[in-house]
């Protein structure tokens, strides 16, 4: 509807042809953004350059900032201000300065992506997610090639015997692949994608995610899929639709079980799986393990309003990062940043749960994004997610969709309110 409105305004001004061109250019830049997100082995990553293109295109052709996005912008700003205060004693540390520069950049991406949802939300979301699916295939093919050392790619595309592909860490590649997998899976469930085509699109990303042997990635996929299926079922418009969802979900579970059994029939895969499938690894337990370090840091952080400083946690606890985004928020961004992050996650949860039950043209997309983002918010207790590009992508899109849905709801209620006032 919003795309038609944009086109109609252009035609009314005698410039309809240019309005359509602008819309195509905007969508093209958004596709490039997510399509380029698969390569992060180099710095700056292509995603950073593509975002500058998006920023330029939307700055020239027009971008709206809804007042409903102020909580997102202000909380991210406070989060980063806390980081800058924490950075002051460590300004000579180039890694710490770079860390904060990345944080600011990610803040800008989230707010910008939220703002672009003001118009043509359905078309732009489809474009972003299709670009993301393309990127997932690129990263996954590299990961699979690396794991099996095809053409000598094992040294570049693996880490510690696990598939990392074009990412620096298999524990980031795994969760990164979840969004497009859930997107395609939902399209199969609701009939927007044929079963055979959908299984083909899922095959490579799922195989790559499995070969990352990332417990966080596996758990993220399982929980996100369960939440997406539940929300899609609850919001289905017909009994036939709900029956299709149940039948295809059971079939998918069966196929996944068979695929897992086949994969585990290979000794080299089974041996790594048996180690990684354990909930607690050797480096997790103990006083100096991951969880022990987190617990020991809490009393120290209660005495440090400015935190330890960006990236200083690793210097205090034997070169180990917090592996907990909430602990890291207080450690790297101080009390201001820590409480701002907590407030941002709480307000995002409120906006996201409200959004998925709104009957809008983008409801299905919102369910996909929120299913993964909500699980990722919970997963923050197990890994540092504050510098994951795809987290800020989801964060911006969920807030943008929520702002648009609230605006549409207010607009829809205005005539009724006026009619009631006239009758009174």
What are the tens digits of pLDDT across the range 43-98? 889 999 999 999 999 998 888 888 999 999 999 999 999 999 999 999 999 999 99
Closest to 44 (Cα-Cα) out of 106, 137, 129, 132: 106
Q: For residue 44, say if its preceding peptide bond is cis, omega within 30 degrees of 0.
A: yes
Contact 89, 309 (CB under 8 A): yes
Rounded to a whole number, what is the distance in angstroms from the first to the last CA of the chain? 33
The pLDDT of residue 280: 60
Structure tokens at 21: 């061109």
The pLDDT of residue 15: 46
Is the per-residue pLDDT at 286 higher than 60?
Answer: no
The pLDDT of residue 422: 42
Contact 25, 54 (CB under 8 A): no
The pLDDT of residue 1: 41
Is the per-residue pLDDT at 102 higher than 50?
Answer: yes
CA distances from 421 to 407, 411, 415, 424 (A): 21, 16, 10, 5
Mean pLDDT computed over every residue of the chain:
89
CA distances from 331 to 85, 98, 308, 342, 347 (A): 12, 16, 5, 13, 22
The pLDDT of residue 128: 97
Secondary structure of the chain: what % helix, strand, coil (to 5)? 75, 0, 25
DSSP structural state of residue 90: G
Is the per-residue pLDDT at 249 higher than 70?
Answer: yes
Helix extents (H) in 118-266: 121-147, 154-157, 170-176, 178-189, 195-211, 215-234, 239-263
Rounded to whole angstroms, the maximal C-alpha distance in the chain is 78
Q: Calculate the dihedral angle through the C-alpha atoms of 74, 111, 375, 95, rounding to the nearest 10 degrees.
A: -80
The pLDDT of residue 112: 96
Contacts of 268 (CB under 8 A, 6+ apart): none
Q: Calculate the dihedral angle through the C-alpha atoms of 211, 217, 223, 229, rounding to the nearest 10 degrees.
A: -60
What distance in Å separates the CA atoms of residue 161 and residue 388, rounded to the nearest whole number?
23
Q: Give 282 or 243, the one with higher predicted confidence.
A: 243
CA distances from 198 to 190, 286, 362 (A): 12, 44, 20
Confidence of residue 424 (pLDDT cuts 50, 70, 90): very low
The pLDDT of residue 229: 97
pLDDT tens-digit series, residues 299-358: 899 999 999 999 999 888 876 788 899 999 999 999 999 999 999 999 999 999 999 999
Confidence of residue 283 (pLDDT cuts 50, 70, 90): low
């Amino acid at each position: 509807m919003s795309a038609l409105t944009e086109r109609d305004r252009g035609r009314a001004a005698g410039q309809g042809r240019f309005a359509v061109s602008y819309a195509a250019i905007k969508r093209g830049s958004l596709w490039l953004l997510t399509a380029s997100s698969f390569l992060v082995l180099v710095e700056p990553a292509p995603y950073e350059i593509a975002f500058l293109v998006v920023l330029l295109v939307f700055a020239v052709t027009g971008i709206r900032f809804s007042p409903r996005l102020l909580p997102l912008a202000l909380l991210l700003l406070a989060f980063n201000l806390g980081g800058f205060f924490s950075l002051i004693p460590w300004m000579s540390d180039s890694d710490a300065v770079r860390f904060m520069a990345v944080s600011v950049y990610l803040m800008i991406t989230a707010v910008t992506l939220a703002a672009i949802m003001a118009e043509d939300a359905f078309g732009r979301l489809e474009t972003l997610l299709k670009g993301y699916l393309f990127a997932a295939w690129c990263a996954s093919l590299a990961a699979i090639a690396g794991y099996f050392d095809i053409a000598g790619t094992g040294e570049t595309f693996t880490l510690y015997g696990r598939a990392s592909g074009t990412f620096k860490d298999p524990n980031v590649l795994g969760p990164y692949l979840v969004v497009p997998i859930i997107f395609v899976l939902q399209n199969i469930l609701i009939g927007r994608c044929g079963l055979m085509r959908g299984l083909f699109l899922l095959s490579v990303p799922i195989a790559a995610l499995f070969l990352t042997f990332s417990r966080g990635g596996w758990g993220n996929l399982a929980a996100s899929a369960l939440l997406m299926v539940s929300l899609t079922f609850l919001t289905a418009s017909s009994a036939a639709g709900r029956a299709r969802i149940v039948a295809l979900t059971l079939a998918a579970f069966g196929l996944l079980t068979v695929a897992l059994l086949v994969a585990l029939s290979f000794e080299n895969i089974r041996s790594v799986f048996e180690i990684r499938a354990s909930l607690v690894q050797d480096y997790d337990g103990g006083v100096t393990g991951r969880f022990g370090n987190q617990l020991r840091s809490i009393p120290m952080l209660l005495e440090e309003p400015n935190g330890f400083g960006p990236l200083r946690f690793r210097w205090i606890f034997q070169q180990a990062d917090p592996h907990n985004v909430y602990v890291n928020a207080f450690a790297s961004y101080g009390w201001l940043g820590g409480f701002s992050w907590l407030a941002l996650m709480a307000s995002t949860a409120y906006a996201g749960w409200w959004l998925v039950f709104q009957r809008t043209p983008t409801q299905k997309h919102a369910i996909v994004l929120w299913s993964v983002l909500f699980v990722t918010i919970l997963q923050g207790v197990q890994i540092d997610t504050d510098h994951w590009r795809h987290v800020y992508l989801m964060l911006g899109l969920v807030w943008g969709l929520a702002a648009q849905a609230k605006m549409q709801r207010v607009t829809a209620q205005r005539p009724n309110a006026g009619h009631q006032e006239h009758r009174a």
